[in-house]
Amino acid sequence: MASSNARYRINAVAEATGLSTASLRAWERRYGIPNPTRGDSGYRLYTEADIDQVKRMVELGDQGVAPSEAARIVRAEARQAAAIPVDDAPMLDTDAYKAMVSRLIAAAEALDQETLEAELYTAMGMGSAWTIYERILSPVLVAVGDGWAQGRISVGQEHLASQVLGTALRSIIRLLRRPEAGRVIVLACVAEEQHDLPLYGVAVLAATLGWQPRILGPRTPPDALAVVVEQTRPSLVGLSVTVDLVPDDPAALFRAYAKAAGDVPWVLGGARAAQYQDVAAAAGGQVFGGGPAALRALLEAH
């Protein structure tokens, strides 16, 4: 019996994922992903989630992960995603969050990926998606960064932490996606900026408030942003800068981003946004320097 939102036939899934219909059937047989249902006519019918899972396996495959391992990761992410309450979950007491943050940092310092993932799975049940970001993921990332800056944490430990937490954040965003969601917000890092995880924080709150986040990620040049703005017609563009970038001509850089945004309002945020206040404002952008409450107000104001 086909489930209500299983509506894609195998050819459409092949087109959407870039996999042949033969590979889709082979993966189904070997790895249980995808897992289509059968329509009254006996044809395989796939859901959006099936397509997402196949795309995720392809993405992992492109990173050199073997299909069987990729299937294990996709299933773990689906279990993790299923454990995340969306928004009105009760808050726990502060000590519970602090204890979880310490356990996650300890697992990262021990380079213990299994414990890190298992603790993250537990953390996913500790509040709304935004609460999990604000009270657990963000404090862990800041602590890891400070540990790195003070020489207590190695680049390897920092990379493991940001990779595993990054994967969890991408799962959260995937879970928060609402087909009926309204306006699009395009989120991108400026010029040479590699820190895209802060954008995922913004996207978690935006998605919780009914936005459709489109995350372009690190180092997005103005002309690439222009194409995405043209095609997606967003209601807001969010740019992020976290480290001291030394663009040759910051004024010209932000004029180029302003041109890329066109008539769409754009906001510059991130740990280092304030230093571009004048040039960004002169180019017509708003510079955001507030905390979580201000971020919510900004997203609700647009």
Nearer to ligand B12, 13 or 124 (CB): 124
Element of type H or E holding 168? helix 155-176
Name which position in 202, 209, 261, 280 contacts ligand B12 (CB under 6 A): 202
Cβ atoms within 10 Å, residue 203 = 25
Distance of closest approach, residue 33 Cβ to ligand B12, in angstroms:
26
**Cβ-closest residue to ligand B12?**
145
State in Å, rounded, how far the first CA of the chain is from the last one: 43
| Shortest Å distance, C-beta 268 to ligand B12 | 6
Binds ligand B12 by CB under 6 A, chosen from 269, 276, 283, 287: 269
DSSP, collapsed to helix, strand or coil, labels residue 202 as helix
C-beta of 6 vs 287, nearer to ligand B12: 287
Q: Minimum Å distance from CB 271 to ligand B12?
A: 4
Residues whose CB falls within 8 Å of the CB of residue 71, separated by 6 or more in sequence, listed in order: 27, 31, 32, 33, 57
Q: How far is the CB of 188 from ligand B12 (least distance, A)?
A: 9
Burial class (CB in 10 A: 0-12, 13-18, 19+), 222: buried
Alpha-carbon gap, residue 285 to 277, rounded angstroms = 9
Of the candidate spans 64-72, 96-104, 106-114, 136-144, the one that interacts with ligand B12 by CB under 6 A turns out to be: 136-144
Q: Which is nearer to ligand B12, 138 or 220 (CB)?
A: 138
Give CA–CA dist 153/147, Å, rounded: 5
What is the smallest separation between the CB atom of 67 and ligand B12, expressed in angstroms? Answer: 25
What SS3 string covers 145-167?
HHHHHCCCCCHHHHHHHHHHHHH
Q: Exactly one of 124, 195, 207, 276 binds ligand B12 (CB under 6 A); which one?
A: 195
- Residues binding ligand B12 (CB under 6 A): 138, 141-142, 144-146, 148-149, 158-159, 162, 166, 192-199, 201-202, 238-240, 242-244, 267, 269-272, 288, 295, 298
